[in-house]
Amino acid sequence: MDLLFDTRRHLAFFSRMKESELSLLGLLRKADKSFERLEDQKETVRNATGFEVDVIRRVAKDGDPHPLRMSDDEDDIWAVQASTGERILNSPRFSQMVVSTTGEMALMNTMHPLDFVDVKRALAKYPNRDPLKRSKDVLQAELVATLVRDCMPQYARIGPWEKVDEEPGEADLPHQQQSMPFGPAP
């Protein structure tokens, strides 16, 4: 799972972390004590069951701190720049009530489903993308597009797509012409 850190709010985040005397890794360990940071990928933590969390951020600009460790703790997670970070931050917010298998409920805040589709399709076209991640990106994009088409038509977009300009990042994506969410335009 990717966790997007909004660097525009880093001062408030760091203040809260200092007040709580926790690192981000320490906070994740409150939910699952088995989380460990990967030494060769300091932006990634993994728990005992193999669940991974990657901390991503937009490409540094406007005085953003870089590099960015999530707290003063030397063993904490570092946020890695993602060329899609700005696009994700600017996506309309999407909130949905979710229910766990134990019946617990929570409000999930994320990006608009069709913006997720766009980002995943763009990632799948990146020439240096890991082939395993590329196939996962395509599958996730198609699943979410089908979900919107078949089960959530109120979130479908009508009309031409707006082109979003992004700053290049560590994994710079080439700009692709936007297409309709459910296949190429006729």
- Using a cut of 0.75, tell me whether the model's pTM lies above it: no
Taking only the tens place, the pLDDT of each residue in 100-151 is 999 999 999 999 999 999 999 999 999 998 998 899 999 999 999 999 999 9
Give the residue ranges of DSSP H helices in 38-151.
85-90, 113-125, 131-151
Given this model, what pLDDT does residue 167 score? 41
d(CA 25, CA 28): 5
Q: Which of 143, 82, 156 is nearest to 112 (CA)?
A: 156
| Exposure on the CB side of residue 74, measured as CA atoms within 13 A | 0
pLDDT-derived band at 8, boundaries 50, 70, 90 = confident
Class of residue 7 by CB neighbours under 10 A (exposed 0-12, middle 13-18, buried 19+): buried
pLDDT digits (tens, 9 = 90+) for 13-23: 888 888 989 99
Return the amino acid letter for 48. Answer: A
Name beta bridge partners: 80: 56
Q: Which structure tokens are listed for 94?
A: 């999407």
Q: Output DSSP code: residue 76.
A: S
Q: What is the mean pLDDT of the chain?
A: 85
